[in-house]
Structure 1
């Protein structure tokens, strides 16, 4: 279990992490989400004792990381896949870690096989692709067979097969009762992986909830109505304050009204409904809505960058 209480990290006048409190529990995959600069990596570094908090504290199984008797056997972490001596082979990199932590050579071979690097174990890591480096970093995190695992952007550089593999691995580790804490910018992948979410913005906690609860709490809920009179339904719903749009023929997407209200308006206007149901809101939609005010850098829409048309041609 990982517990943060009032965790704060300041760099001068800037608060990278601001009074952050949460608990990461065993038996589930907890996703750590936030825009760039939200404080995710800084938080993970403080968990691992690599950065010291300005205020507050964070503990691993009730102790600061620095006071764990055998850290690698209790916590495995991947923060930077490229943080490997490029002149060492994959096997020798892991052997160095194993020998300094009283871990057997047999375990080194086991994790190399687990992450799919057994066939390249003798190759120097400087020639590895980013995906292979990620696998080596994951092998190092698993080396001590720890109960707690922390992964920062573990799917970077992985191909589709690798993404499915790491997703399955993380979920299987959680199913064994381990604590799995993972950050990622691939929101759609996190939706398939995480059971629980910690969402931060500008260093502050924005959400701490289960995946389904987080998505259900989005105000962007959409109702889908199928009708042979889409234009009439759209006009009636717009008059009631809804925002509507059409997708497939006969389908009206409705925002701002519940299913019951849509049904009542259709009935009052003599409009036949063939189907009425809530549309599924994605994690990405809910995340973008929640963090809209926490994004530091906004790109322009391609539409916004088009030159104004003045009616003349070159």
Structure 2
């Protein structure tokens, strides 16, 4: 990354949260949360709306004071870092920019107040694709442009630790692919990359590790593959000329069966081997027997089902 990896003297820093708690009156937004965000990985931070993701990120950055516990970056609290933007880059609120400033002068003011060369402001504008509009006032920017500018600000000090809160909001498809590739490149350089998102399809393509929270509590802290494989939502697609009879047999042994497309059924509760053996025992000919693995979205919905604060309903 420009000044780049050659200047990553602080590479290897990690975020460490220990018993992190935040209360607002009688409401506990974050409850006894402990986790590590390690370098060299894109760590996804996921949970339902209101789970406490942004509050946790704000506590890491010293914007909110914990009610209990502690969180450090590279072994120090954010407020004790001598040159914060050179050590931690963050995008929390893309619209938190003075609308009367140009994109360039916004970055220049941040650079000057953090001892960063002015040339770096121009450099990161080019990196995020805003060099052609650097002289325009931010008040006329779209949300996607503000997201890009916020990412430029996070990269300004070429820090070893980066935090992004919902960075794909407002981005077009090209922008989503770009930020996905950028985060993976940053992690490949040995940086610590911590990103929250509600788009499970993006997390599946971007993240190496997941921290999953619900109602402020830690639910899972593991690799993406392990998280998905732990889901019970694996199904088996079955096609047969005698689906009705096969469904009766499968249901009797405790499997759950539901109709699928093109004269097929989806079966949960039995694996493909058990279904094949059962069909053979009853003389059913199978035309297709295929295991369908759960997606990250399936695993997420299953894991957080009891942690959703705002649940929609479908009219009868």
Q: Distance in 1 between matches of 2:184 and 2:292?
A: 27
Deviant stretches of 4+, over 4 Å = none
Task: Give the match for residue 204 of structure 1.
Answer: 217
Task: Give the match for residue 28 of structure 2.
Answer: 15
Task: Give the match for residue 229 of structure 1.
Answer: 242
Q: Distance in 2 between matches of 1:224 and 1:247?
A: 8
Q: Distance in 2 between matches of 1:232 and 1:20?
A: 50
Q: Distance in 2 between matches of 1:123 and 1:48?
A: 29
Q: Distance in 1 between matches of 2:194 and 2:176?
A: 16
Q: Distance in 1 between matches of 2:149 and 2:43?
A: 22
2:153 aligned with 1:130, yes or no? no
Q: Distance in 1 between matches of 2:154 and 2:174?
A: 20
Bigger shift: residues 223-232 or 118-127: 223-232
Task: Give the match for residue 310 of structure 1.
Answer: none
Task: Give the match for residue 102 of structure 1.
Answer: 115
Q: Aligned-pair distance for 1:241? A: 1.4
Equivalence map 1:223-302=2 (5 Å): 223-302=236-315
Task: Give the match for residue 103 of structure 2.
Answer: 90
Partners of 2:200 and 2:296 within 8 A in 1: yes
Bigger shift: residues 104-113 or 267-276: 267-276
Look up the SS of the partner of 1:151 in the other structure: strand
Q: Distance in 2 between matches of 1:38 and 1:189?
A: 19
Q: Aligned-pair distance for 1:45? A: 0.4
Deviations 1:233-256 (A, max 9, x none): 222211211111232334321011
Q: Aligned-pair distance for 1:65? A: 0.7
Q: Distance in 2 between matches of 1:210 and 1:224?
A: 27
Equivalent residue for 1:215, pick from 228, 233, 237? 228
**Structure 2 unpaired stretches of 5+:** 1-13
Look up the SS of the partner of 1:218 in the other structure: coil
Q: Aligned-pair distance for 1:148? A: 0.6
Equivalent residue for 1:31, pick from 33, 44, 49? 44
Task: Give the match for residue 168 of structure 2.
Answer: 155
Task: Give the match for residue 66 of structure 2.
Answer: 53
Equivalent residue for 2:183, pick from 149, 154, 170? 170
Q: Distance in 1 between matches of 2:297 and 2:266?
A: 18
Q: Distance in 2 between matches of 1:226 and 1:176?
A: 48
Bigger shift: residues 61-70 or 112-121: 61-70
Look up the SS of the partner of 1:145 in the other structure: coil
Equivalent residue for 1:140, pick from 150, 153, 170? 153
Look up the SS of the partner of 1:157 in the other structure: coil
Cα-Cα RMSD: 1.2
Task: Give the match for residue 10 of structure 2.
Answer: none
Q: Distance in 1 between matches of 2:291 and 2:192?
A: 34
Deviations 1:7-52 (A, max 9, x none): 0111112111000000001111111111111110110000001111
TM-score for the superposition, normalised by structure 1: 0.94
Q: Aligned-pair distance for 1:110? A: 1.1
Matched length? 303
Task: Give the match for residue 131 of structure 2.
Answer: 118
Q: Aligned-pair distance for 1:106? A: 1.8
TM-score for the superposition, normalised by structure 2: 0.93
Deviations 1:163-212 (A, max 9, x none): 11111111111111111100011121111111111110110001111111
**Structure 1 unpaired stretches of 5+:** 305-314
